[in-house]
Structure 1
Amino acid sequence: MPHRIMLHVSTTSREEALVLEGIRVLSFTHFLQGPSATQTLADLGAEVIKVEPPQGAFERSWSGPDAYLGDTSVFFLLGNRNVRSIRADLKDPKWRETIRELVTRADVLIESFRPGAMARLGLGWDELHALNPRLVYCSLSGYGPDGPYRDRPGQDVLLQSLSGLAAATGAGDQPPTPTGASIVDQHGATLGALGILAALHGRERTGVGTLVESNLLNAALDLQIEPLSYHLNGFAGQRSPSGVSSGYYKAPYGVFPTADRHVTLSLNSLATLTELFGDPWFVAVGEEHSYERRDEVNRRVAVHLAGRPLAEWEARFAEHRVWYAPVHDYADVEIDPQVLHNESIIEFEHPQAGRVRTIGHPVTYDGVRPGVRTLPPALGADTHAVLAELGIDGETIDALTGEVAA
């Protein structure tokens, strides 16, 4: 049985809004995109059954900076709460038949194998749609189900490079700069969950499931809908050597050093800068020239900001209604008043890992944030229970699970 968590992260006494309660999801996912998508559904009350190979999903035995709590991967712990785990050998025909029986009782199947892998196992869309026409089938991949990049490895930083995101990021005199987080994976996960929810809604009208396909390349392009659309419509931008963080925005726009820390300014008029710094030079430039002369503007802003510590500037920013934010590292984020108020960081006790801290579900429903109902499960923790729910007798279950563990 899954371990039950005692801590509920919400401060409200209202019942959690488990809006997907009654929806059963079969998850054949690994890495980050797939598990994060299924965790989103599980947080909302869906019953997610994670179907894992005999050795366990990839994320059980890998973690970015070799981050383990005890013997448990932090990478696994951050993306598998509220799910159940069964251990299955999909190369075994008996297990494939068992999985097909699960499919007949499922609402959603989500998979993140290489394109074609599920079909080779007899678990592709065509076969399973014929078996269960109401099934919503979601495939997550790197580049899509076909095309010249179909069989390439799809991984976050590779897609940041291929999609133009890395080339668009950073100062103009520096190399292309990938972001400091796996934003393409996470956006791909969100788009996958969005597609599933749309297909479930459509099924309410038609009674028929849908094939939902999302990929990391599309996710990376979607993240850049604003700058890429400027480019596609003939507006050529370029990275600025003065640190403007976008090739398309007017100065001041970017990160600047103060006397003690860094601060980011965004979309402030030259009139505001004149008032802030007591420097009529900015107004003399003219708003109509603020894009073409953005490097000059940025350099002059930098000279002013370097003369005082951030605390003094913050008081002046508030007085002049300047759009700004201090540059936080993760230690700052952890104690940020708004982060704390939003209860964005959750924690739970895990029997092997001990105290685990991670990021909670990002959306509230009627003011309530979904919490941790069950811990990330041990490999195969729910195999017996799930198979028993299919009506399989104990002797057959013992035979199946004995084979997969061998």
Structure 2
Amino acid sequence: MTPKALADVTVLDFSHLLQGPFCTQLLADMGANIIKVERPGQGDLFRTMTFNNRWVGGSESPNFLAWNRNKRSLAIDLKAPEAKEILYKIAEKADVVVQNFRPGVLAKLGFGYDDFRKINPRIIYCSGSGYGESGPYLSRPGQDMLIQGLTGLAAATGRGDGPPVPVGSGFADQIGAMNMVYGILTSLYWRERSGVGQEIKVDLMSGLLAHQGQEMLMAMNFGEDFKRPNSGIGHPGMEAPFGVYPTSDGWVTIAMSPFTKLVGVLGDDTLLTYNDPTLLFEKRDEIWEKLAALTRTWTTAALMEAMLAVDIWCGEVKTHTQVVDDPQVKHMGMITSYDHPVAGTVKVVAPAVKLSATPAAVERPAPLVGQHTREILREAGYSEDEVAGYLQRGTVAEQKSANP
């Protein structure tokens, strides 16, 4: 088998929903041994949530399947008297703990950073939250769309004559996951030099503010907010033609491109009267309407061919199902699949980061609740009789069948 860069890294993963699980899946794709700690029976809350009441294979959540491949599941009751003994024993040889419970919840149960570093000074403990671990928002729910609203992203998205628009994906959670990985890999590198672990704190609000750096800088230094355009201009700070335009059979995007080149393609020289940086911004909605009237007369394919021929920055607007058949997506191998014991063959997006010597791989499906409980406890050094005792007393649970 191809070696994996993180094959010697073991992660105790207490996380649920999106932020933490996406972080640990990214580590798992690079070979890390992820022990997903779940509640007996129900497991990760995402197992019970889906879109439009649609379930893969009739019973499996697409939300859960998307973020939990390449992991093993340990079902354990964190409130059981023997839970600490088991998890502390695993932590003796673990490298990383990841959790995104509300601040203080795991610490009250005896699974905080201070608890684990007493057992293993080399442990790296990464916590994800909505708003950090103190302050006036501490008791608020830290959900993705709420963070988009609080940090200015939703207010900067959409048309000016309509409501603020959240991004059509869990953007704050996924940025949070990336920041968790960033912190973990940085801490692993530091530990190689220092021999000690550390605590990492990542929150969604800080992450989304940091990823709006240029928009925040403009607002703070000029003392005014962007005004959303009423047209399909693609960013509240940009001038025409930057935006989304209709064609006779779809939509195209046009980015930062010389206005004269676009006018040349569309064939209406009267538009050149707008070719001034100030006018292109102040009249951007008006310009968009005039450009859109022309782009509507083209098919997407014909307009793309004409614009690309003169090096205009442009692209087709595709739906998720259309993206699957995109030739570049196919060329890059970005759609793959895994076989799940209940859901069957599940199509998924492949790892995005390519490493030449230690490539990422999808080698395990998302686990069933407690599917690997017995296996993980054996690896921790427990005998069959001890495992049987824990199972009998309900401290841990295992998935005995492929049918939940």
After TM superposition, the score normalised by the length of structure 2 is 0.93
Residue in structure 2 matched with residue 268 of structure 1 by the alignment: 257
Gap regions ≥5 residues in structure 2: 398-404
- Of residues 143, 164, 183 in structure 2, which corresponds to 1:155? 143
Bigger shift: 324-333 or 361-370?
A: 361-370
CA distance, structure 2, for counterparts of residue 348 and residue 171 of structure 1: 40
Residue in structure 2 matched with residue 258 of structure 1 by the alignment: 247
1:207 pairs with 2:195: yes
Deviations 1:305-336, CA, capped at 9 Å, x for gaps: 12222222122112221111111111211100
Task: Give the Å deviation of 1:42.
Answer: 0.8
When the two chains are superposed, the root-mean-square deviation of aligned CA atoms in Å is: 1.7
Retained in 2: the 8 A contact 1:59–1:73?
yes
Retained in 1: the 8 A contact 2:156–2:226?
no
Secondary structure at 2:356's aligned position in 1?
coil
Residue in structure 2 matched with residue 32 of structure 1 by the alignment: 18
Deviations 1:186-232, CA, capped at 9 Å, x for gaps: 11111111110111011111111011111111222233222222112
Residue in structure 2 matched with residue 375 of structure 1 by the alignment: 365
Task: Give the Å deviation of 1:17.
Answer: 4.7
Retained in 2: the 8 A contact 1:82–1:375?
yes
How many residues of Structure 1 are paired with residues of Structure 2 in the alignment? 392
Residue in structure 2 matched with residue 47 of structure 1 by the alignment: 33
Residue in structure 1 matched with residue 111 of structure 2 by the alignment: 123
Task: Give the Å deviation of 1:367.
Answer: 7.6
CA distance, structure 2, for counterparts of residue 387 and residue 132 of structure 1: 19
CA distance, structure 2, for counterparts of residue 158 and residue 197 of structure 1: 28
Letter in 1 for 2:243: G
Retained in 2: the 8 A contact 1:17–1:370?
no
Bigger shift: 256-265 or 131-140?
A: 256-265
Task: Give the Å deviation of 1:40.
Answer: 0.7
Bigger shift: 166-175 or 315-324?
A: 315-324
1:280 pairs with 2:274: no
Deviations 1:258-303, CA, capped at 9 Å, x for gaps: 2221111111222222322233334333333222232232222112
Task: Give the Å deviation of 1:242.
Answer: 2.0
Gap regions ≥5 residues in structure 1: 1-14
Retained in 2: the 8 A contact 1:275–1:320?
no
Residue in structure 2 matched with residue 59 of structure 1 by the alignment: 46
After TM superposition, the score normalised by the length of structure 1 is 0.92
Residue in structure 2 matched with residue 4 of structure 1 by the alignment: none
Residue in structure 2 matched with residue 144 of structure 1 by the alignment: 132
- Of residues 257, 277, 297 in structure 1, which corresponds to 2:287? 297
CA distance, structure 2, for counterparts of residue 93 and residue 374 of structure 1: 31
Deviations 1:128-166, CA, capped at 9 Å, x for gaps: 122211000000111111111112111111111111111
CA distance, structure 2, for counterparts of residue 317 and residue 32 of structure 1: 39
Letter in 2 for 1:122: G
Secondary structure at 1:233's aligned position in 2?
helix
Residue in structure 2 matched with residue 9 of structure 1 by the alignment: none
Residue in structure 2 matched with residue 245 of structure 1 by the alignment: 234
Secondary structure at 1:78's aligned position in 2?
helix
Retained in 2: the 8 A contact 1:52–1:379?
yes
- Of residues 205, 210, 218 in structure 2, which corresponds to 1:230? 218
Structure 1 consecutive aligned stretches of length 4 or more whose deviation exceeds 4 Å: none
Letter in 2 for 1:384: R
CA distance, structure 2, for counterparts of residue 186 and residue 309 of structure 1: 35
CA distance, structure 1, for counterparts of residue 95 and residue 208 of structure 2: 28
Percent identical pairs in the alignment equals: 37
CA 1:270/1:42 → structure 2, altered by over 3 Å: closer, same or farther? same
Residue in structure 1 matched with residue 323 of structure 2 by the alignment: 333
